[in-house]
Amino acid sequence: MKSLKGTLLFLVLMVLPFILNSAMNCECGSHSEGITTYNVVGGDCCASIPGPTGYIHSYEQQENGVWEHTGSTIISGSSAQDHCCNSSI
């Protein structure tokens, strides 16, 4: 039994870095309409499985032309992915 637990622990420790490194950052939008961000496990923002959370970041353009971050709204990763990949924008 100890041998099985040790083997399973070894396998998890060997595979975990590959799983964690396969995450990819995705985003869409613009400063004027808001930027949606989320992560996926895989290499394709629209075809891979989204992480649990996403964000909509809001910006306001200042008089000098610089965009200032004014806030972020937490949404589900699947909602963020749907907005970026299935939006008609």
User: Which residues, at least 6 apart from 20, have a Cβ–Cβ distance to it below 8 Å?
Assistant: none
Residue spans per domain, the chain? 23-86
Both ends of the chain: CA-CA distance in Å? 56
Model pLDDT for residues 77-87, shown as the tens digit of each residue: 999 999 999 86
> How, if at all, do strands 49-61 and 23-30 pair?
unpaired
Model pLDDT for residues 16-55, shown as the tens digit of each residue: 555 555 789 999 999 999 999 999 999 899 999 999 999 9
Q: Residue 89 and residue 28: Cα distance in Å, rounded?
A: 10
Q: From the CA atom positions of the chain, what is the Rg in Å?
A: 19
Apex CA 50: angle with CA 46 and CA 51, to 5°? Answer: 155
